[in-house]
Amino acid sequence: MIKRPNTPAPNPLKRPYIQSRFGHEWTDNYAWMKDDNWQEVMQAPQKLEANIRTHLETENTYTETALAPTNTLKDAIFEEMKARLEPEARGIPMPDEKFAYFHYFRKGDQHGIYARHDLSQSTPQDMTILDAEALSQASKAFFDIGDVSHSHNHHWLAYSVDLKGSENYAVYLRDLSLADDVDISTQITRSAGALVWATDNQTLFWVERDDNQRPYAVRYINLFDKTAAVQTAYEESDPGFFVSLAQSDDRAFIEISAHNHTTSEIWRIPSATPTAKPICFAPRLTGQEYSLHEHGGRSYILTNANGATDFAVMSASHDNTDRQHWQDFIAHKPGTLIIGMESFKNHLVRLERENALPRIVIRDMRSGQEHVIDMEEDAYSLGLVSGYEYDTAQIHFSYSSPTTPNTVFAYDMDTKERRIVKEQVVPSGHSSGDYRTDRITITGRDGAQIPVTLLRQKDTPKDGSAPLLLYGYGSYGITIPARFRTSILSLVDRGFVYAIAHIRGGMSKGYQWYLDGKLASKTNTFNDFVDTGIALVELGWTSKGKIVAHGGSAGGLLVGAAVNQMPELFGAVIAAVPFVDVLNTMSDAQLPLTPPEWPEWGNPIEDEQAFKRILSYSPYDNVTPQAYPPMLITAGLTDPRVTYWEPAKWTAKLRDHQTSDAPILFKVNMDAGHQGESGRYDSLKETALEYAFAITAVQ
C-alpha cells in the first residue's frame, strides 16, 4: 500500500485566474505555474521563475519521501531490467555501397557507438564513426542524439545533439577520413533533429524550429563554401502544420512534408540539384494524406484519397503529379489498413494491419504477383527494418510477441527465403513457455468490439486474485504493438497480468477505429478503457481496485479521464507526462502543439461545440470531490510536447478534491523533457520507479 508521508503535502497558493468564453466562466487557481517566459526556459532551464522552481522541488521532495519505502523494490526491479539487456548489444550492419553502418553498445554504455564496416575486407573490423558514449560524458545532465547521417560519398558525417531535453538539436560535422575525432560546429542550434545530405556531398538540409518550438522551415547550406549563407528551401506559414524532412526511397529526391494529423503536402527537390526550387507534388486538401514511393520513373502514392479510409495505393508519373492524373494501383480494402510502404528497384513492400494484427505484403513489380510473409502466433508485432539500398532483393524485418523475444530476419523477396540475422538475448534467462499470451475481445457499452492483449505467467490464476496493469493510449491513430518488452516481466513475474487495451483513437482495427475515437467521438476512447477494465474484472482476470491504469502523454489524458469517470475501478494510476489540461492548452495558440492538434481535438477558441466537448472530458477541468486512488504523475521541465505545468496544476487540483487518504504524487525531471532520461540504463530507473509504485499500491 502506498501511504501519505508524515510530512504535509505541498499546498501551493491559489491565484484565481478567471476566463469566460461562449457564455461559460471558469476559474483556474494554478495558472501561475506556467512561466510567462516558458520559451526561454526551454533553452535555459535555469531561468525558470524562482517560486515555480521552489514549488516543483518541493513536490519532488514530497514524492521522494512518500516512495522511500519502495526504494528497495525499485532498486531490485532496476537490476532485473538491466540484467535482461544484452550488455554488448549490436545492431545489424546495413550495407550502403562499400560500407555497412550500424550501432552497438559496449558493456556499461548508455548511448553506445556508431560504426561501420568496410565491405571490401574479408573480415570487416569495427570502425568507429561517432562515439556517443564519450560525447555524453561532457553533458552535465541530459544527452540525446537526434540523427547520425553520412554523406553519399561516405566521407562526411553530420550528427545532431540535444543537451536539454527540449528537442532543439545542435548539428556538428566530422571528417571520416581523419583518424582523430575532430568535430566542426555548423552553428546550427535549433534543428528538429533530422539531417539529409544532397548527392553533391556538400549541401546539408535540416528542419528548423521557430520561437514557439514548432518545426516550421527547411534550411540548407553548403558546408564547405566559406562564403555560403544559410538558405531557405521551404517555410510553412500555417502554424497548424509541422514540417519534416526525408529522402525518397531511391534517394533521388529530398522530400519536404508539411502536415498535421489529417492532412499532408509534399514538396520535392532533386538531390542532385539541391539549390533548385522545391516543387509541390500535390497541394494539400483538408483531410487527405499521402506519402510517396519511387519506382521506375513513377511515384506510388499511399493515400486516403477518394474515400479510401484504410488507404489505397495510386501512381503518377513524375511529369503529371496533379491528383487528376493519379491512377489506381492497389485498391482500398475496408478494414485492412495499409500502415506504411517501401519501394525497391523490383519490389513494393507494404505493411498492413487487420483486426489488430500486422502483416507484410511483397509485390513483384515485374510480374505483378504478391505474397504475404506468414506468421504463426495469435498476437505479435512486425516491423520493417529500413536500410540504405534501393537496388536489392533483400529486406529486413523484425518479429516479436509478448512472450517471444525480438528476432530480425533477412528476407529474399525473390526466393522467399528467410534467415535469422539477430535474435534478442535475455542474459538473465527467459523461457517463452513460462508465459502465456491471450488475445480477447470485449464488448464496450455501445457494442464496440475492443481487442485486448494479455500477458501473464502460465500459472497466474484467472480467478480475480491477480493484480493487473492496464495500458492504453488511444490518440493520433497510434497503435500499441503486441511486442516483447523485457521490462514488463518484472510485473508479470510478480503475479501481475499485463493488458493492452486496443481502444478507439488508435488504428488497431483500421483508420475508422481512429476516426471513431477523435473530435466529436473522443469520449469513446475513455469509455473503451473503462469498459475494458470492467470486463476484465467480470471475466476473472483481476478484481476491482486491483487494476493499475498506466498511460503517458495522450495516454495520460486517457487515464486522467478514466479515473475521473470511475475512480473505484482502479487501485492506482500512473500518468507519465500527461496531457491533462486540454482546454487551456488547446486555447493557447502560442504553445508548440496547439494549432497542429486542432484537427485531433477541435479548436475551442473558435468552435463552441469543440469548447463544450473538451470541457466535458478535460481531466483538469473535471476533477471533483471523490476518493481517488494513489496516483503517480510525472513531468519533464523542458518538455515541449506536454509542458510541465499541466501535470503540476493537475496534481494540485487533485489534492484539493481528494476525499481519501491515498496520496497524489508528482515527480518532475528538472533535467529532461518529454522522453525522460535518454540513457539506455537511466531510462530504466524511471520505469522501475513506476513499477515499484504499481506493485506496492495494489499489494
Active site residue 490: no
DSSP tag of 290: E
E strands, 40-169, in order = 94-96, 99-104, 113-118, 127-131, 144-150, 156-162
3-state secondary structure of 98: coil
Cβ proximity of 165 and 638 under 8 Å:
yes
Cβ proximity of 492 and 455 under 8 Å:
yes
* Measured distance CA(309)–CA(643) in Å, rounded: 33
Q: Where are the alpha helices (DSSP H) in 539-644?
A: 554-565, 582-586, 594-601, 608-617
- Show contacts of 457-460: CB within 8 Å, 24+ apart: 457/492, 457/493, 457/495, 458/433, 458/434, 460/492, 460/495, 460/496, 460/497
DSSP tag of 453: E
Cβ proximity of 674 and 165 under 8 Å:
yes
* Measured distance CA(259)–CA(191) in Å, rounded: 18
Instruction: Given the residues 553, 581, 621, 671, select the one marked as catalytic.
Output: 553
3-state secondary structure of 462: coil
Active site residue 674: yes
Active site residue 639: yes
Q: At what angle do helices 71-83 and 682-697 cross, to 10 degrees?
A: 130
Instruction: Given the residues 55, 347, 550, 674, select the one marked as catalytic.
Output: 674
Cβ proximity of 242 and 596 under 8 Å:
yes
3-state secondary structure of 215: strand
Q: Give the closest residue to 270 by CA, choosing from 243, 250, 289, 290.
A: 250
- Let me know if 417 is exposed, middle or buried by CB neighbors in 10 A (0-12, 13-18, 19+): exposed
Instruction: Given the residues 35, 109, 639, 671, select the one marked as catalytic.
Output: 639
Annotated catalytic residues are 553, 639, 674
